Structure 1
Amino acid sequence: MMMKQKGIEEELGLAKERCKGVIDRIERLSVSPSCRRTLLRLAHSDLNFLTRSSSTSSLNIGHLEAIVHILQQPFITGVSRVCKPISSPVRHHHHHHLDIVCTLNRNPVWIIVSDRNPTYISWDSSPKKKTKGLKSRLQQLLTLARSSTTLKPSSIILFFSNGLYCNTFIREKLREEFGASEIELNFSVFDFDFYSSDDSDGEWVNVNVLGRSYRGACVLEIKVVGEDDDDDDDITVLSAVKGSTTVASVVPKLSELAADTFCSLISGLRIFPSHVKKKLEMKGLLAEGDLVNYDTTALIALVSGISNGCTQKLLATPESELRQRFKGNYAFVIGQVMSEIQNPIHVELGSIISGKRGIICESVHSEFKELVLMCGGPNEKFRADQLLKHLTVVADSPSQRVMGLPTTRKLALKNKVVFGTGDYWHAPTVTANMAFVRAISQTGMSLFTIEHRPRALTGD
């Protein structure tokens, strides 16, 4: 009896350490404050239960560990929901639990996580045991996914952290009845943290006491009928970069402007051929994952004098002159100057857009040209012309799910068009408009965006 009690105490102690480890990892996750609060609430709830209880029978920490493990993967982006129910648009009193709503390989997905022993995963529902089988749950989720507009995923991802190799029945049923297929993702197979030891001269030491392996995890994908499957004819490239335009032809002029970083930046951009590709070829490009959508703030940041060597000149200008030039935006501009000195924007964006093909929608193209014409100096206008030669203008073609969101002050129509076009092309939108990104996230929609710090035109 004493040995058994000692074993239970050791098991409880280990479970508490696992909870504390998960809490620490959640604190360091790159997710929204809302998602972090939800995860922390669940982790603290488990820890409190263990503190009051002498049993680990209801422990949910393994499921939470698996969710955090997924969220730590670099290819998981645009996380908008974790461990939250989603309501049926048809039957509002029916809620369906989702573990993660995010973007995977540029596509919106729902992720369902199972940390159960695969032997005990049931396929059919059992009224006597009051349990819902996997089949019933997936049927309801697929119905919900196909009827949803703004939250509609391209697929549902099933992550079985303990694998399915000992339950071939479930695996075959998923394949036969739902068309599930195994997908290869570069998940790290081990899950552990690094701690600094006092006797290690400050070096990081791997402590694998609480680590677990996901080497046997099984990841399956169930496709949801896409919103644009019948809209291929709507994908039209309105203007393509001229084949005669090369980076080499603009290098001398750019060098004269001491805009070496700008020259280097656009030299790293891939350019579409001068002729318009066939629609199927364009779809093939999407699969390569080499498209980036720019909003107006991103284009301004690339050509701004602040980003192109004018920081010292601006700091040397008398404050009275700067206040007269920038009026109420003086503090805003100076803040950008200091930000540029500490973290040059071209370096930051260069690592993101290098080797990618850039697209802008018609609305951004028009707005950018108008702003540069009104507020840009000669050098900024020259850089804007060269930048546009390396981008492709596409039609305003916002995705159905983004346009399905209500138009409000925070979700302005023009922004829905810009970000929605990027979503339609499965391309991340590079932006400094984080107010819109936050507003989108608050709706529960997962949208692939890349944040950059703002820069203003200076008349350079």
Structure 2
Amino acid sequence: MEKRESAATAFAVEDAKRRCAALSDRLQRLTNTKLPPSPKTTLSRLIHSELTFLHRLSATSHSSPSPLSSNIGHLEAVVHVLQQPSITGVSRVCKPINSIYVDIVCSLNGNPVWFIVSDRNPRYISWDGGSCDKDKGLKQKVQHVVDAARQSPVTLRPSSILLFFSNGLSGNVYQKLRSEFGAVDLEMERFSYEELELEDKWTNVVLGRLFPDACVVEIEVGKDTHGMEKNIPESARIGDLVSCKKHDEHSDLNLGSSLCSFVSGMKCWCCSSDDNVVLEVGLLKQSRRGAESKLVNFDTTAMVAIVSGISNGSTEKLLARPESELRGRFKGNYDFVIAQLIFEISDSIKTKMKMSKEDKNPIHSELVRLEFQELISMCGGPNEKLRAEYFLKFLKVVPDCPSTRLMSLPTTRKLALKNKVVFGTGDYWYAPTVTANMAFVRAVSQTGMSLFVIEHRPRALTGD
């Protein structure tokens, strides 16, 4: 009997070691856009620690067989949650906040949320706990998390808490969560395989652990925690929007293939009939809390990139110019511009920008509009000015109305007020901000706040 137990333990240890190695490989293949370096390093360290523990255990298991106590299942569940398409803006993983251990701090459809992940067997998840002081029960644990969330500073406060039970939950405990905490079901994609976004831009299908019995519930923390103030701005300056029928009227202009492609595929306000997005006297506001935002917010870097000559067919023409001419033209920005030209040839910005506009209405703030027009006036060439004038007709300008949580961050050199207004306005409307300003995004992430953004490579105005 003891030999059989020892063999079973040894097999379990080896299997856990294999899962650690596989999980580490999957983690490293994730792009920094999906999982930033700091959270990735934290998870990598935890997996390495688990593997070290298993190596020590395998060296002694032959002499003292015992049930395997491993955290690999929990780590697999955390990575599974991180790989869900709706998870963005990951700022922290497996770290305490206000003395409460939180597995993931991120955005879910634009809403700041906390994830608590459990890999326990549902038979051992009790509601009120047992006689042992250490067995506090799920009720008390959830109450502590909810209290910590509500008492957190506004910069870290989530709109809701998500409980992910990778092995499911008993009916009795599930009903208690619903009745005492107002928990509701949250549908998440359950993969039979993991489709990873890789650093080398290839897509790789890797068999991973399945979660057929997973249960996800959402507990709302409180109203207006995202900074959605009760009073919607009463007015917005709306430009002379171009009807979709007018696209062809500009085909004879030198707008550039990238801009034409971008605008033709954009969801235009003039033909939007989505009941969840309304902008008449007031501004659009989600009519159903938690729904995926129907908006996308452009910052100045994104708008410049869209109209730049680099993005619209001038790349090869510029590279054919003598180096001396280009150095005289771009001066101290020569290396910066040349790098963009070379990168545009191998990876056109159209590909990334396409992701930002799908089924979304484009907006930008008053501040961005003024800054963009000033840049175009000073640095734009004739064709870039023409593209800018044309492109602006397809966007709605919304008032500068940054969310409370962004404005609650201290204003510093890295967290400039201007950027807090621009990104905060997108945050106010639960809209991802399309940007190349990753220095600001990293600075926000370092505070622990999740921020919903879509990154693109910078493109400069060339005088085209």
TM-score by length of 1: 0.89
Aligned counterparts, 1:274-423, within 5 A: 276-277=279-280, 282-284=285-287, 287=291, 289-423=293-427
Q: Is the 8 A contact 1:99 1:113 kept in 2?
A: yes
Corresponding residue for 1:17?
18
Alignment gaps of 5+ in structure 1 = 88-94, 194-203
> For the Cα contact (< 8 Å) 2:112–2:160, is it kept in 1?
yes
> How far apart, in 2, do the equivalents of 1:214 and 1:185 lie?
11
Counterpart of 2:231 in structure 1 is 233
Separation in 2, partners of 1:218, 1:46: 25
Contact 1:305 1:457 in 2 (8 A): yes
Which of residues 62, 78, 99 is equivalent to 1:67? 78
C-alpha spacing 1:236/1:302, structure 2 compared with 1 (3 Å) = farther
Pair 229,332 (structure 1): closer, same or farther in 2 beyond 3 Å: closer
Instruction: Map residues 120-135 of structure 1 onto 2, 5 A cutoff.
Output: 120-124=124-128, 128-135=132-139
The residue aligned with 2:199 is: none
Counterpart Cα distance in 2 of 1:258 and 1:190: 43
In the alignment, which residue of structure 2 is the partner of 1:447? 451
Q: Distance in 1 between matches of 2:195 and 2:411?
A: 44
Q: 1:108 Cα shift?
A: 1.1
Following TM superposition, by how much is the alpha carbon of 1:229 offset from its aligned partner in structure 2, in angstroms? 7.8
Deviations 1:263-310 (A, max 9, x none): 121122222249942658642398453210010000000001111111
Cα deviation for residue 104 of structure 1 reads 1.0
Contact persistence 1:240–1:272 (CA under 8 A)? no
2:284, 2:327 → 1: CA distance? 51
Structure 2 Cα separation of the partners of residues 324 and 281 of structure 1: 47
Q: Structure 1's 292 and 236: CA in aligned 2 closer, same or farther, altered over 3 A?
A: farther
The corresponding residue for 2:36 is 32
Supply the distance in 1 between the matched residues of 2:245 and 2:103 (Cα, whole angstroms): 49
| Residue of structure 2 in register with 1:215 after alignment | 212
Residues 288 and 129 from structure 1, CA distance in 2 versus in 1: closer, same or farther, beyond 3 angstroms? Answer: closer
What CA distance in whole angstroms lies between the structure 2 residues aligned with 1:227 and 1:205?
38
2:254 corresponds to: 257
Q: Displacement, 1:65?
A: 0.9
Deviations along 1:224-254, one digit per CA (max 9) or x if unpaired, are 21336872323445123545x2244353444
- Structure 2: distance between partners of 1:312 and 1:191: 39
Distance 1:440 1:83 in 2: 18
Q: Residues of 1 paired with 2:253 and 2:205: CA distance?
A: 50
What's 1:83 paired with?
94
CA distance in 1, matches of 2:226, 2:95: 27
CA 1:295–1:344 in 2, change beyond 3 Å: closer, same or farther?
same
CA RMSD of aligned residues (A): 2.4
Check whether the contact 2:232–2:283 (CA below 8 A) recurs between aligned residues.
no
SS of residue matched to 2:269 = coil
Q: 1:183 aligns with which of 181, 186, 205?
A: 186
Larger displacement relative to structure 2 (126-135 or 389-398): 126-135
Deviation track 1:322-364 (CA, whole Å, cap 9, x = no partner) reads 2122110011111111111111112321233143211101110
SS at match of 1:172: helix
Secondary structure of 2:342's aligned partner? helix
Check the 8 A contact 2:407/2:421 in 1, yes or no.
yes
| Deviation (angstroms), 1:444 | 1.0
> What amino acid maps onto 2:19 in structure 1?
R
Question: CA-to-partner distance for each residue in 1:403-440, whole Å, 9 max, x for gaps?
Answer: 11111111111101111111110000000001111111
For 2:136, what is the secondary structure of its paired residue? coil
Q: CA deviation at 1:15?
A: 1.5
Distance of 1:240 and 1:334 partners within structure 2: 37
User: What is the CA-CA distance between 1:82 and the residue it aligns to?
Assistant: 0.6
AA aligned to 2:236 is L
- Post-superposition shift, 1:50? 1.4
| Identical amino acids, percent of aligned pairs | 54
Q: What secondary structure sits across from 1:455 in the alignment?
A: coil
CA deviation after TM superposition for structure 1 residue 146, in Å: 2.0
SS in structure 1 opposite 2:104? Answer: strand
Tell me the amino acid that sits aligned with residue 188 of structure 1. F
Equivalent residue for 1:138, pick from 129, 138, 142: 142
The aligned amino acid for 2:75 is L
**What SS is found at the alignment partner of 1:175?**
helix
SS in structure 1 of the partner of residue 286 of structure 2 = helix
* One-letter identity of the residue aligned with 1:221: E
Residue of structure 1 equivalent to 2:160: 155
Say if 1:268 and 1:355, in contact at 8 Å, map to a contact too. no
Amino acid aligned to 2:37: P
In the TM superposition, what is the alpha-carbon distance from 1:56 to its structure 2 partner? 4.9
* Contact persistence 1:291–1:427 (CA under 8 A): yes
What is the SS of the residue equivalent to 1:284? coil
Change over 3 Å in CA distance of 1:26–1:310 after alignment to 2 = same
Find the partner of 1:172 among 170, 175, 184: 175
- Name the aligned partner's letter for residue 6 of structure 1: A
Q: Is the Cα contact below 8 Å between 2:247 and 2:264 reproduced in 1?
A: no
Deviations 1:369-415 (A, max 9, x none): 01101111111111111111101111111111111111111111110
1:200 — aligned with what? none
Specify whether residues 115 and 401 from structure 1 end up closer, same or farther in structure 2 by C-alpha distance, changes over 3 A only.
same
Distance 2:6 2:419 in 1: 61
Q: TM-score, normalised by structure 2?
A: 0.88
CA distance in 1: counterparts of 2:283 and 2:388, whole angstroms: 31
